[in-house]
Chain A
Amino acid sequence: MIVELGHFSLILSLGLAFCLSVLPALGVYRHQNQLMALGGSLSAGLFVFVLLSFFCLANAFVTDDFSVNYVARNSNSDLPIQYKISAIWGAHEGSFLLWTLIMAGWTLAVSILSGSLTLDMRARVLSVLGGLSLGFILFILLTSNPFDRSLPLFPSEGSDLNPLLQDFGLIVHPPMLYMGYVGFAVPFAFAIATLTSGRLDSAWARWSRPWTNAAWAFLTLGITLGSWWAYYELGWGGWWFWDAVENASFMPWLVGTALVHSLAATEKRGVFKSWTVLLAIFAFSFSLLGAFIVRSGVLTSVHAFAVDPERGMFILIFLVLVIGGSLCLYAFKATGIRSEAGFDWTSRETFVLANNMLLLVATGAVLLGTIYPLIYETMTSGKKISVGPPYFNTIFVPIVMVLFAFMAAGPSTRWKKTPVSRLVKSLVPTFLVSLTMTTGLVYFFAAQFEFVAVLVVTIAGWIFLGLVKDMFERVNNKTNKLVAIFRQPFSYYGMLLGHLGIAMAITGVCLTIYYSEEKDLRMVPGEMVEVAGYEVTFKAMNKVRGPNYRADQGEFEVMYNGSRIALLHPEKRFYEAARNMMTEADIDPGLFRDIYIALGEPIDNTAWAVRVQYKPFVRWIWFGGLFIALGGFVTLVDRRYRRGKAVNQQEMAGVTV
Chain B
Amino acid sequence: MTVNKSLLIPLVVFALLVFVLSLGFRLEDPHFLPSELINKPFPEFQLRDLHDPERLITQNDLKGEVSLANVWATWCPNCMVEHPELMRISRDEDISLYGINYNDESVKAIAWLRRYENPFLFNIVDDKGTLAIDLGVYGAPETFVIDTDGVIQYRHVGALTREIWDSEIFPVVALLRAEQKKANTGHEITGRSKTGSEK
Is A335 touching B10 in the complex (CB atoms < 8 A)?
Answer: no
Q: Is A399 part of the contact surface with B, judged by Cβ < 8 Å?
A: no
Q: Is A45 part of the contact surface with B, judged by Cβ < 8 Å?
A: no
Q: Is B170 part of the contact surface with A, judged by Cβ < 8 Å?
A: no
Q: Is A319 part of the contact surface with B, judged by Cβ < 8 Å?
A: yes
Is B30 touching A316 in the complex (CB atoms < 8 A)?
Answer: no
Q: Is B41 part of the contact surface with A, judged by Cβ < 8 Å?
A: no
Which residues of A in the span 280-329 have a Cβ within 8 Å of any Cβ on B? 281-282, 285, 289, 292, 296-300, 307, 309, 312-313, 316, 319-320, 323-324, 327-328
Is A377 touching B27 in the complex (CB atoms < 8 A)?
Answer: yes
Is B11 touching A603 in the complex (CB atoms < 8 A)?
Answer: no
Q: Which of B1, B17, B33 contacts A384 (CB 8 A)?
A: B33
Is B24 touching A299 in the complex (CB atoms < 8 A)?
Answer: yes
Which residues of A in the span 352-377 have a Cβ within 8 Å of any Cβ on B? 371, 374-375, 377
Best-buried of A307, A327, A371, A601 by chain B (most CB within 10 Å): A327
A interface, over-half SS: helix
Separation of A601 and B24 alpha carbons in the complex (Å): 37
Q: Is A330 part of the contact surface with B, judged by Cβ < 8 Å?
A: yes
Residues 157-183 of B, flagged 1 when their CB comes within 8 A of A and 0 if not, give 000000000000000000000000000
Is A371 touching B21 in the complex (CB atoms < 8 A)?
Answer: yes
Is A382 touching B28 in the complex (CB atoms < 8 A)?
Answer: yes
Separation of A516 and B27 alpha carbons in the complex (Å): 40
Is A300 touching B30 in the complex (CB atoms < 8 A)?
Answer: yes
Is A601 touching B14 in the complex (CB atoms < 8 A)?
Answer: no
Which residues of B in the span 8-55 have a Cβ within 8 Å of any Cβ on A? 8, 10-11, 14-15, 17-18, 20-28, 30-31, 33-34, 36
Q: Enumerate chain B residues within 8 angstroms of A297, measured Cβ to Cβ.
A: 24, 30
Give the Cβ gap from A36 to chain B, nearest Cβ, in Å.
Answer: 26
Q: Which of A312, A330, A600 contacts B77 (CB 8 A)?
A: A600
Is B24 touching A312 in the complex (CB atoms < 8 A)?
Answer: yes
Separation of A316 and B34 alpha carbons in the complex (Å): 28
Separation of A320 and B21 alpha carbons in the complex (Å): 11
Q: Which of A307, A323, A331 contacts B8 (CB 8 A)?
A: A331
Give the Cβ gap from B129 to chain A, nearest Cβ, in Å.
Answer: 14
Q: Enumerate chain B residues within 8 angstroms of A309, measured Cβ to Cβ.
A: 25
Is B23 touching A374 in the complex (CB atoms < 8 A)?
Answer: yes
Is B20 touching A374 in the complex (CB atoms < 8 A)?
Answer: yes
Q: Enumerate chain A residues within 8 angstroms of B30, measured Cβ to Cβ.
A: 297, 299-300, 307
Which residues of A in the span 607-621 have a Cβ within 8 Å of any Cβ on B? 609
Q: Enumerate chain B residues within 8 angstroms of A282, measured Cβ to Cβ.
A: 10
Q: Which of B14, B27, B28, B34 contacts A323 (CB 8 A)?
A: B14
Residues 417-460 of A, flagged 1 when their CB comes within 8 A of B and 0 if not, give 00000000000000000000000000000000000000000000
Q: Is A587 part of the contact surface with B, judged by Cβ < 8 Å?
A: no
From B18, which residue of chain A is reached at the shortest CB distance? A320
Q: A300-B31, A319-B18, A331-B3 are in contact. Are A374 and B24 (CB under 8 A)?
A: yes
Separation of A385 and B34 alpha carbons in the complex (Å): 11
Separation of A334 and B10 alpha carbons in the complex (Å): 12
Q: Enumerate chain B residues within 8 angstroms of A580, measured Cβ to Cβ.
A: none
Is B31 touching A375 in the complex (CB atoms < 8 A)?
Answer: no
Give the Cβ gap from B117 to chain A, nearest Cβ, in Å.
Answer: 14
Is B25 touching A334 in the complex (CB atoms < 8 A)?
Answer: no
Is A316 touching B21 in the complex (CB atoms < 8 A)?
Answer: yes
Is A330 touching B10 in the complex (CB atoms < 8 A)?
Answer: yes
Is B23 touching A378 in the complex (CB atoms < 8 A)?
Answer: yes
Separation of A311 and B93 alpha carbons in the complex (Å): 50
Best-buried of B22, B28, B75 by chain A (most CB within 10 Å): B22
Separation of A444 and B36 alpha carbons in the complex (Å): 50
Q: Is A520 part of the contact surface with B, judged by Cβ < 8 Å?
A: yes
Residues 326-346 of A, flagged 1 when their CB comes within 8 A of B and 0 if not, give 011011101100000000000
Residues 452-489 of A, flagged 1 when their CB comes within 8 A of B and 0 if not, give 00000000000000000000000000000000000000
Number of interface residues of B (CB under 8 A): 29
Q: Enumerate chain B residues within 8 angstroms of A319, measured Cβ to Cβ.
A: 18
Separation of A309 and B36 alpha carbons in the complex (Å): 27
B interface, over-half SS: helix
Separation of A603 and B79 alpha carbons in the complex (Å): 12
Q: Is A278 part of the contact surface with B, judged by Cβ < 8 Å?
A: yes
From B22, which residue of chain A is reached at the shortest CB distance? A316
Give the Cβ gap from A610 to chain B, nearest Cβ, in Å.
Answer: 12
Q: How large is the interface on A (under 10, 10 to 19, 20 to 34, 35 or more residues)?
A: 35 or more
Separation of A336 and B59 alpha carbons in the complex (Å): 69
From A336, which residue of chain B is reached at the shortest CB distance? B4
Is A332 touching B77 in the complex (CB atoms < 8 A)?
Answer: no
Q: Enumerate chain A residues within 8 angstroms of B25, measured Cβ to Cβ.
A: 298, 309, 312-313
Which residues of B in the span 178-194 have a Cβ within 8 Å of any Cβ on A? none
Q: Enumerate chain A residues within 8 angstroms of B4, measured Cβ to Cβ.
A: 331, 334-335
Q: Is B195 part of the contact surface with A, judged by Cβ < 8 Å?
A: no
Give the Cβ gap from A302 to chain B, nearest Cβ, in Å.
Answer: 11
Is B80 touching A603 in the complex (CB atoms < 8 A)?
Answer: yes
Q: Enumerate chain B residues within 8 angstroms of A332, measured Cβ to Cβ.
A: 1, 3, 7
From B26, which residue of chain A is reached at the shortest CB distance? A378
From B8, which residue of chain A is reached at the shortest CB distance? A331
Give the Cβ gap from A364 to chain B, nearest Cβ, in Å.
Answer: 9
Separation of A278 and B20 alpha carbons in the complex (Å): 22
Q: Enumerate chain B residues within 8 angstroms of A330, measured Cβ to Cβ.
A: 7, 10-11
Is A378 touching B27 in the complex (CB atoms < 8 A)?
Answer: yes
Is A296 touching B24 in the complex (CB atoms < 8 A)?
Answer: yes
Q: Enumerate chain B residues within 8 angstroms of A331, measured Cβ to Cβ.
A: 3-4, 7-8, 10-11
Give the Cβ gap from B116 to chain A, nearest Cβ, in Å.
Answer: 10
Q: A324-B14, A327-B11, A601-B77 are in contact. Are A335 and B2 (CB under 8 A)?
A: yes
Separation of A307 and B75 alpha carbons in the complex (Å): 33
Give the Cβ gap from A375 to chain B, nearest Cβ, in Å.
Answer: 6
Best-buried of B3, B11, B20 by chain A (most CB within 10 Å): B11
Give the Cβ gap from A331 to chain B, nearest Cβ, in Å.
Answer: 4
Q: Enumerate chain B residues within 8 angstroms of A374, measured Cβ to Cβ.
A: 20-21, 23-24, 27
Give the Cβ gap from A611 to chain B, nearest Cβ, in Å.
Answer: 10
From A312, which residue of chain B is reached at the shortest CB distance? B25
Residues 480-523 of A, flagged 1 when their CB comes within 8 A of B and 0 if not, give 00000000000000000000000000000000000000001000
Separation of A335 and B15 alpha carbons in the complex (Å): 21
Give the Cβ gap from A582 to chain B, nearest Cβ, in Å.
Answer: 15
Give the Cβ gap from A602 to chain B, nearest Cβ, in Å.
Answer: 9
Q: Enumerate chain B residues within 8 angstroms of A320, measured Cβ to Cβ.
A: 18
Separation of A297 and B28 alpha carbons in the complex (Å): 11
Separation of A401 and B7 alpha carbons in the complex (Å): 30
Separation of A298 and B36 alpha carbons in the complex (Å): 22
Residues 178-208 of A, flagged 1 when their CB comes within 8 A of B and 0 if not, give 0000000000000000000000000000000
Q: Enumerate chain A residues within 8 angstroms of B2, measured Cβ to Cβ.
A: 335
From B78, which residue of chain A is reached at the shortest CB distance? A601
Residues 376-404 of A, flagged 1 when their CB comes within 8 A of B and 0 if not, give 01100011100000000000000000000
18 of the cross-chain contacts (CB-CB < 8 Å) are A285-B14, A298-B24, A300-B31, A313-B25, A316-B22, A319-B18, A330-B7, A330-B10, A331-B10, A332-B3, A335-B7, A371-B17, A375-B20, A377-B27, A382-B34, A383-B36, A384-B34, A601-B77
B residues within 8 Å of A by Cβ?
1-4, 7-8, 10-11, 14-15, 17-18, 20-28, 30-31, 33-34, 36, 75, 77, 80
Closest 6 CB pairs of A and B: A298-B24, A601-B77, A300-B30, A327-B11, A378-B23, A331-B7
Given A300-B30, A331-B7, A382-B34, output 4 extra A-B contacts at Cβ < 8 Å. A374-B20, A384-B33, A520-B75, A603-B77
